[in-house]
Chain A
Amino acid sequence: MSPNNTSTETMTLFSPQLAARLDALVEKYPVRRSALVPMLLYAQDEVGYLSDGVIAEVAWRIGITELEVRNVATYYSMLRFKPVGKYNVQVCTNISCMLRGGYELYERFQEELGIGHKGVTSDGVFSLEEVECIGACCWAPAIQVNYEFHDELNPDQVPGILADYRAKAAAEERSSHA
């Protein structure tokens, strides 16, 4: 195979599963570019953030410039350009959550994790974010850890939630070495 080969197989940053998913994604829409936002999300889910490499590959897959990809990506608050923790804890403090103790919950997460807004713990397991409404207003206060919702929380549940995710991270670490 020549070193200048630019086929998907050799160039992609992504796992074969994700690469296949993205190949299908661009075919799904009447217009190729419509795949851009979902593609960025799925790429971010696997890589952890939108690295320069991810941006370049997405641009190539859609057939637009990297600048156009960045122009769109910077608009959406869930898309990020720096790594976060394995578990990104997003605490809603918007009105419905605020009225039922969202700030107290957020403060407890800050204390337990020793980090603030957009901080990452030194072991890389957790990051923390104060976020806008996540659509769980009737089950407030609520948080999301990556895509997982936790509803109707009180600050005393914070250590337990973190311990569960820490255990999950440790188990995954062990199985990846096994």
Chain B
Amino acid sequence: MPRLVSHPDEVKIVSRRFGLGAEKIERYIELGGYESARKCLAQGPDWIINELKASSLRGRGGAGFPAGMKWSFVPKQSAKPKYVLVNGDESEPGTCKDHLIFLHDPHAVIEGTIIAGLAIGAKVGFIYLRGEYRYLLEIMEKAVADAYAKGFLGKNIFGSDTEFQIITQTGAGAYEVGEESALMESLEGKRGVPRIKPPFPAVVGLYGGPTVINNAETIATVPHVIEMGGAAFAAVGSLKNGGTRLFSISGHVERPGVYELPMGYNLKKMIYEVAGGVRGGRKLKAVVPGGSSTPVLLPEEIETLGMDFDQVGKAGSMLGSGGVVVLDDQTCIVEFALRTISFYQHESCGWCIPCREGTDWLKKSLTRFHAGFGVAKDIDNIKYLAENMMGRTFCPLGDAAAMPTLGFVNKFRKEFEDHLDGKPCPFAKHVELAMV
């Protein structure tokens, strides 16, 4: 069972019901659950969208797009049915927050989905979990069945004449399906390859109908936004970054875990105070701030860095999925870069050539480096490959592979050079990686 953590600096909004038995519907209701959905049903779509806009809630999947604005793009009138799609395909290495939401607070996901449905005028919502989360699907299925039994889902939700149905399912092992258009393909029973945009899903989405796709954390946050009021939620966070975020802190820290902290919380404090500092009192070497696709940051770059979409962006990286991966001074960056690119090479769906070929050649180059056979021009070759992948693919997977690679090479060039021409790895870790 995943361990829950806590720290005095945490502001528990989304995680406030974790560990309190809220997976049971009675308990969830006791803790204030489904009141927000009732309120939204009474207030109507425009009010909901305005609250969301006022909350500055931004997409927790990684892109950070304002949720209220996303919902407002869905046309009011549509010949085809509209859909809500909850992305619980959580697959970005370093990220395990949705895992806890499904485990401890499945009804918050259901309630958020209902509210999204009310806001855009959809009658059906899908909750899609990654295939590995089968035990969490079972928890979600039970929660959905209980919500139907209470009349919170079905033909007449909460006794109104409004209909809303929820369908849950898992994927079957594919990072790429976390990309919204690939997710829709997967739900339609196809290979998870991305669609070209535009048209955007808000106009042409699932089964060709207007579709709102939100990350599971975003959706689970929505009932809290309604409960607190958009403005109060916004006030918890930083400028244009409303509320809190579930940060998954992993790697070389004393107390890894999922912590809920206000947007804009300082990254250094997050590592040294919240997560207990670098393991064994070692020195910090680097931090991956938002999941494996975000460029690495150096210790001097995190001193005053606030963890919100805009500040991390300005620092040359991304807040991404909020997966903070901490590396101590014993970590071989070449090995870490290789493991990162091996993942993207494995997960590239092969649809776009720059990504398919780029990830493969990056992996080959880094494998050679790691094995001690790198030559000087390899470093620039790696940069050339990565730069030529950026922005040249249907979906962001190509960028997700190229960006961290460029970060490693640019910020740790000397360490790459130290591995050249058969020199022994300074970290003596050059055993051949099993996956390579």
Contact = CB atoms under 8 A, between A and B. Distances in A.
Interface of A: 28-31, 33-38, 40-41, 62, 71-72, 75-79, 93-96, 98-100, 103, 106, 116-117, 130, 132-140, 144, 147-149, 151-152
A137 B174 contact: no
B80 to A, nearest CB: 10
B133 A135 contact: yes
Given A72-B191, A95-B93, A136-B2, A148 B174 contact: no
Nearest to A107: B434
B336 interface: yes
B91 to A, nearest CB: 6
Contacts of B96: 135-139
B343 interface: yes
Contacts of B343: 94-95, 132-133
B189 A96 contact: no
Given A38-B169, A72-B191, A138-B256, A132 B175 contact: yes
B94 interface: yes
Contact of A95 (B81, B171, B257, B288): B288
B349 interface: yes
Given A76-B171, A137-B323, 20 more contacts: A31-B189, A31-B207, A34-B187, A35-B189, A37-B169, A75-B174, A77-B172, A77-B174, A93-B434, A95-B93, A95-B251, A99-B250, A103-B433, A132-B346, A135-B91, A135-B96, A139-B96, A140-B251, A147-B134, A148-B135
B249 interface: yes
Contact of A36 (B95, B189, B325): B189
A78 B131 contact: yes
Contacts of A152: 3
Interface in B85-120: 90-96, 98-99
Interface residues of B, number: 62
15 contacts: A72-B191, A75-B192, A75-B349, A76-B172, A78-B172, A95-B94, A95-B292, A95-B336, A96-B93, A98-B336, A99-B325, A103-B431, A138-B3, A138-B96, A147-B135
Nearest to A90: B132
B173 interface: yes
A96 B135 CA distance: 22
B186 interface: yes
Nearest to B129: A135
A138 B258 contact: yes
A88 B325 CA distance: 28
Interface string B245-276: 00011111000111000000000000000000
B188 interface: yes
A89 B98 CA distance: 23
Contacts of B347: 132
B327 interface: yes
B339 interface: yes
B91 A106 contact: no
Contacts of A34: 187-189
B188 A33 contact: yes
B132 A78 contact: yes
Nearest to B3: A139
A95 to B, nearest CB: 5
Contact of B339 (A28, A36, A98): A98
A132 B258 contact: no
B135 A149 contact: yes
Contacts of A134: 132
A135 B132 contact: yes
Q: Which residue, of B2, B189, B249, B339, has the highest number of chain A Cβ atoms within 10 A?
A: B189
B72 interface: no
B261 to A, nearest CB: 14
A37 B132 contact: no
A38 B167 CA distance: 12
Contacts of A130: 434-435
Contacts of B365: none
Contacts of A71: 191
Given A30-B207, A34-B187, A139-B3, A94 B349 contact: no
B200 to A, nearest CB: 21
Contacts of B170: 38, 41
Nearest to B133: A135
Given A135-B132, A140-B250, A96 B172 contact: no
B248 A138 contact: yes
A37 B434 contact: no
Interface string B174-210: 1100000000001111111000000000000001000
A64 to B, nearest CB: 8
Contact of A135 (B95, B339, B431): B95
Nearest to A40: B172
Q: Which residue, of B94, B175, B325, B431, has the highest number of chain A Cβ atoms within 10 A?
A: B94
B1 interface: yes
Contacts of B131: 41, 76, 78
Contacts of B93: 94-96, 132-133, 137
Contacts of B189: 31, 33-37, 62, 72
Contacts of B162: none
Contacts of B250: 96, 99-100, 137-138, 140
A156 B251 CA distance: 20
Contacts of A29: 167
B393 interface: no
Contacts of A149: 2, 135
A93 B3 CA distance: 20
Contacts of A38: 169-170
A38 B169 CA distance: 7
